[in-house]
Amino acid sequence: METALTQQTNAYFDDTYLTETAATVVASGAGEEGAWAAVSPNIFHPKGGGQPSDEGSLDGAPVTPVRTESGLVVLTGVASETEVGAGVVCRIDPELRRRHAALHTAGHILGHLGESRGWQHSGHSHFPGQARLDFEPAGHEDELASPELREAVRAEFQAQMDEVLARGGAVSSSVDPQGHRTVTIEGVSTEPCGGTHVRTLADLTGVRILEVKVKRGAIKVRYEAEHATKGPA
Ligand SMILES: [Zn+2]
């Protein structure tokens, strides 16, 4: 596993739009849930950091990516056991990838906008249809005490989001020698992150702040976002 980890390049770190590639099996085996394989380059983003996993296939058969404790991304549900060194073809659902990247990138911006208000980010989900950022509610009871006040805050978030998107900016990432990845949204934030992102804020469209509510001990800001274009061919 250790060797496989050093051999695996996670291509999704560098290119959100690489949705099909030839790859080599760097580790394989069989567990309780059937055969698995780890490949490099790996284009599959495993579930994590609030982002759902990619859906895709290995040599045409559907697989599900999972990150192991060691950090290796393995593809589970592989149709038949593959040998280390074997060449395979990997594909992921491009529409889903773009949608996840759009929601996740918009989540970074919303987190930044909340923190700019002095709110403390406490959690998030970037799953389609249920995307939201959570913040600590302590100290913000008054500003969110009524439906009218919550709606006013929602409208403020929308206006600020629209401003950020109108200004635009590049999204870039870098990995330090220890393997820690940092993602920068120009003019917005720099944060450690292992997710998938759009290339520029111009790739985002339909970013709507849907609701601000206080529930189960958290301020929850629900939102929606889509990818503006099909992305590069
Ligand atoms: Zn991110």
- Give me ligand 1 centre to Cα 84, in Å: 31
- Give me ligand 1 centre to Cα 65, in Å: 18
pLDDT digits (tens, 9 = 90+) for 173-202: 998 988 889 999 999 999 999 999 999 999
pLDDT digits (tens, 9 = 90+) for 82-99: 999 999 999 999 999 999
**What local confidence, expressed as pLDDT, does residue 232 receive?**
55
- Give me ligand 1 centre to Cα 11, in Å: 15
- Give me ligand 1 centre to Cα 198, in Å: 10
By DSSP bridging, strand 132-135 and strand 218-227 are antiparallel
Q: How far apart are alpha carbons 210 and 221 in whole angstroms?
A: 7
Domains, the chain, in order of start with CATH, read 2-92 (2.40.30.130), 96-227 (3.30.980.10)
Question: What residues sit around ligand 1, an ion, with C-beta below 5 angstroms?
Answer: 183, 193, 195
Angle at 186 (CA atoms; ends 185, 190), nearest 5 degrees: 50
Question: CB–CB of 149/213 below 8 Å?
Answer: no
